[in-house]
Chains A and B, each alone.
Chain A
Amino acid sequence: MFLVKCPWCGWREQTEFSYGGEAHIARPTGTDEISDQEWGDYIYSRKNTKGVHAERWVHTQGCGRWFNAVRHTVTDVMWDSYKMGEDAPNPPKDWDGLSSRDELEPSEGK
């Protein structure tokens, strides 16, 4: 169990949310031309990253909205969340995965 930051409601228990898998997977264009291999990759292949991972969440038990978030998949600490369509707010290269952006940069807290 960990905390998830909803861009609208703030930090809440993970149990209020549902996970939506890897973020930023774009449906391929030219669908009548791409190979079965490319289709399969689009549907099934995942980064499944050990480390910093951009992913989708929905605030099921709250405002009901979808958003993206960046989380460390070893510590489960969420760095920050962001709205669909925005670029991922990447943590510093040397992020230890232990503190969120709000804890490390409180002045920039939104």
Chain B
Amino acid sequence: MKKYSIFAIARNARNHHQDWERAWRSPDPKPSYDVIIIGGGGHGLATAYYLAKECGITNVAVLEKGWLGGGNTGRNTTIVRSNYLWDESAALYDHAVKLWEGLSDELNYNVMFSQRGLLHLAHNVHDMQEIGRRGNAIYMNGIDSEFLTPEQVKEMVPIINLNCRYPVMGALLQRRGGTARHDAVAWGYARAADSMGVDIIQNCEVTGFKIENGVVKGVETTRGSIGANKVGVVAAGHSSVVAEMAGFRMPLESFPLQAFVSEPMKPIVDCVIMSNAIHAYISQSDKGELVIGGSGDPFISYSQRGSFDQIEHVVGPVIELYPIFSRVRMLRQWGGITDVTVDRSPIITKTPVDNMFFNCGWGTGGFKATPGSGRVFAHSIAQGDMHPIAAPFTMDRFHTGALIDEAAAAAVAH
């Protein structure tokens, strides 16, 4: 892997940028691997990277049915934060934020992580109680968390209308929260993993498993059978479909979630603003587009579109809170399929099939966890036993009753 740097740009400028090497190879699948990762989203690629980097396992393939990051990784609104209620979640999400803080350097790839600060607005007494309780819990876990008065909110976001149909009574601020560039995360991990020998194989859909005596031995794909000692499934919205191929069910339902971007504008919002009571949140990309998201569709679907009526649910409140946007034109709308658990926490787990691991259930809010999720999953696969940060998130919790209920922190806010 040739290092990216200002000198590399200068050197390549001399050749009219004709000689940049490919960011990763495009190999044919080998007959077998030590570990196969199913799903080339951010979490799958990060898993492969940490397997190679920290666990010494480089005979790894990532199999992706489409293109890298074409799932929820490339469809999300890129919010990164770690202001969750419970200790287990704080450990997992803040592990990720700490990795984000050094990620561009570590990967030698600019993931454009921007800790621009993130506000959760409170519009009513219930919201105030929720941010009060959660804000204190976050603080007790050593994660930054501040309460803002309406005046302080106005100072941070001058364009906000505090006394609209959704009056702003206060807000919870995480200054270390922000955004990152979604594609860059997938590409950066892919390039770094590839350079350590990981085979990244796109257009390769897994269609079945080879399982002998309850132990996984390999996968069937659209590019033939491939053997594997261990398999990690990181298929987001399609996790239930993959689990069915292996003969078990997951405690998951898949819902479409959509997002929108506007035409690009000059900088006007320099933080992320979200709100649980009204299902709309907003930030501005470095290109200048407003990035806006809302809540998921209320029925399971794999349509990857998002319902028409949700648009009004999202745009209406945005215009109430920020009247200056009333004449902004929206450019694009799209949907992703989010794998949602009943407690709104992810599942990182062993499965009824030996040597097969799942990392899923990130639902509407897993982008922020990409580095942490990949790292603890890689260690769990390598050890054959759950990493301590991952241990509370196994699928056992759905029969022991030890759910990690993050409905307030994650059900609407992503």
Contact = CB atoms under 8 A, between A and B. Distances in A.
B300 A53 contact: yes
A71 to B, nearest CB: 8
Interface size on B, as a range, is 20 to 34
Contact of A73 (B251, B303, B342, B401): B303
12 contacts: A1-B308, A18-B298, A19-B299, A37-B399, A45-B249, A46-B249, A50-B241, A53-B300, A55-B300, A73-B301, A73-B302, A74-B301
Interface string A35-51: 11101110111111110
Interface in A61-110: 73-76
Report whether over half of chain A's contact residues are helix, strand or loop; otherwise say mixed: mixed
Nearest to B311: A1
Nearest to A13: B309
Given A47-B240, A48-B240, A40 B398 contact: yes
A56 B232 CA distance: 33
B207 to A, nearest CB: 13
Q: Which of B251, B252, B399 has the most CB of A within 10 A?
A: B399
Contacts, number: 66
B330 interface: no
A19 B298 contact: yes
Contacts of B308: 1
Given A19-B298, A44-B342, A73-B301, A14 B240 contact: no
Q: Which of B249, B300, B342 has the most CB of A within 10 A?
A: B300
Interface residues of A, number: 26
Given A36-B400, A73-B302, A73-B303, A15 B309 contact: yes
A55 B300 CA distance: 10
Q: Which of A43, A50, A73 has the most CB of B within 10 A?
A: A50
A44 B303 contact: no
B114 interface: no
B4 to A, nearest CB: 39
A83 B363 CA distance: 32
- What 3 pairs between A and B have smallest CB-CB spacing? A40-B399, A44-B251, A48-B240
Given A1-B308, A36-B400, A75 B252 contact: no
Q: Which of A18, A41, A55 has the most CB of B within 10 A?
A: A41
Given A1-B308, A1-B309, A50-B241, A44 B300 contact: no
